[in-house]
Chain A
Amino acid sequence: MLNTFRRVLALTVITLSSLGGSQAFAEPLKVMASFTVIADLAKNVGGDRVDITTIVGPNGDAHVYEPSPADAVAMSKADVVLVNGLHFEGFLKRLVDASATKATTVELSKGVTPIEFKPEFAEADEGHADHDHDEASAEDHDHGKDQAHSQDHGATDPHAFQSIPNAEIYVRNIADAFCAADAEGCDAYRKNAETYTEKLKALDDEVRAAIAAIPVEKRVVITSHDAFGYFEHEYGLTFLAPQGISTESDPSAADVARLVEQVKNDKAAAIFVENITNPRLIEQIAAETGIKVGGSLYSDALSGPDGPAATYIDMMENNIRQIKGAILGS
């Protein structure tokens, strides 16, 4: 009981005040967001017409999250449930079933072109006997469209929000979902979405400018798990990771050895830890090669309100600043 009570307190309940057209109205739309990035986007679209609850809080890892009864209670009361989809939230289906919620669950990644997990190092060394877990995705790297069927195998990268054009799709989907649930506020939602999309476009330009400032041969960085596939795809920066797609998997010695080689051959210019993972493997690679560990990148979760990545825009700015700084500083 105590546990449940504290859990409710600990949940990030964001009551909004600042944005959007504001007139007094009876009941805000109750929105449940699966994790912090979505909550932030929804806040920008919903303004003060919505009341947002986040399931996986700041710095939490949605890959391995265990929902609590308080989550199920909150979900059963929600009007709209916003999720990333693409099998990002492993806990979600159970939670939806358990809460028996009548809310519509909206997958925000709908309309995004999914990409497969990139085959790690596949192009780097064809000569090597490399028949590991990635070989399936190595084969159909460029069958961009017909990947829906392979989602069940977990081969699709769910971190679509790491590309800003995709975030614009998320915002559009959020506005649609809010309009469907609350027709009265539709104009306000559309207007907010438009304003926010402008900001995202500015951010997109900023990121592209920052990448353009990095020499082409230096555009390789190492992170601890593979969360930046869409960023890579969109902006042409290569990310290598020893841990693969989920934070759950275990690295192999061959992967780590190849990362070390990449750094030694001066093909990777910077190495980063992420906010949600054990930094020791990254530190080990850094120690072996003498490369300096850059700052923290935020991939699957925003930081707390005082951290460097309190909002989606802050997160992207933080990441690109860290990457640029580390590469150009090396």
Chain B
Amino acid sequence: MQALYALLVSPFVDYAFMQKALFGSLLLSAGACPVGVFLMLRRMSLSGDAMAHAILPGAAAGFLFYGLEILPMTVGGLVAGIVVALGAGAVSRFTVQREDASMAAFYLISLALGVLLVSVRGSSVDLMHVLFGTVLALNNEALGLIGAIAAVTLVSLFVFWRALVAECLDPLFLRSVSRLGSPVHFIFLGLVVINLVGGFQALGTLLSVGLMILPAAAARFWTARVETMCVAAVAIGFASCVAGLLLSYHAALPSGPAIILSAGAVYLVSVLAGTRGALRARLVTHRHRTA
């Protein structure tokens, strides 16, 4: 009992930075994991990575005008991310081009612009490193930011739930029965951007993209219903955060990768053992064949 306490609880009781890390990463999971489920269902799982590069010009502009201040750089990043997401969304919505191609085009333009701005300033401070924090260094402002983002995300998901599900499974149907079609698409892209940029600022790129995509991808192997999938994704996200932080604490591993690898382990297990995973599918077909 004592050993179990020392193993699982005392790290969080003894250190304020561990509490903040846990709290922040749980909050982020609560918002980002359901968004990840929709991203995955819309086949946009890779756009998180693209977004990490897309926000560079905004961050660079903030840096150019205000120096190394976190707030202007975050706001700049947010604006750049939203412009890229909305631009890519608009192109895919109103032209023949698909989302993946337009997203790639916009983020490359954005990335190039960012590198240009950084170079003009002639500074070689790595903006990505300055802007992107680590989960162990969460201060109260960052916690507040993540909390606000999680709240906005959950409320929006709750309000637009039916439209989002319809939009993601059958967009043409939604557009034929409701005028919400296009707005919902953009609201969703907005949610993706605020979750990513907020996460970058507070936790680092790897953690924020990873927490969005991996739990969602793992949850896909356990259920076919979107509601249950979101709940499962959040649960997997929570478990990964706790496991990763404990791993980082006891085994002296870097915390961001530890959390993401925990989620990755859940994903791999789900691929094999999930109720809709590889092994189960095999077994079921096999039984059919013999019967």
Contact = CB atoms under 8 A, between A and B. Distances in A.
B87 interface: no
Interface in A240-257: 242, 247-257
Contacts of B124: 56-57, 60-62, 64-66
B228 interface: no
B272 interface: no
A56 to B, nearest CB: 5
Contacts of B129: 64, 247-248, 277-278
B4 interface: no
Given A64-B129, A288-B16, A11 B122 contact: yes
Contacts of A24: none
Nearest to B244: A253
B240 interface: no
Interface stretch (B31-39, B96-104, B149-157, B250-258): B250-258
B125 A257 contact: no
Given A57-B122, A57-B124, A61-B124, A253 B21 contact: yes
Contacts, number: 117
Interface residues of B, number: 39
Interface residues of A, number: 42
A281 B203 CA distance: 11
Interface in B234-265: 245, 248-258
A257 B122 contact: no
Classify the secondary structure of B's interface with A: helix
B116 interface: yes
B126 A250 contact: no
Given A132-B252, A250-B254, A252-B252, A257 B18 contact: yes
Contacts of A247: 126, 129
B251 to A, nearest CB: 7
A91 to B, nearest CB: 9
Contact of A3 (B116, B130, B252): B116
A68 B250 CA distance: 42
Given A249-B254, A288-B17, A276 B137 contact: no
Interface of B: 11, 14-18, 20-21, 70, 116, 119-126, 129-130, 133-134, 136-139, 204, 245, 248-258
Given A132-B253, A254-B253, 16 more contacts: A7-B119, A7-B122, A11-B122, A57-B124, A60-B125, A62-B124, A247-B126, A247-B129, A250-B256, A250-B257, A253-B255, A281-B134, A281-B136, A284-B137, A287-B139, A288-B16
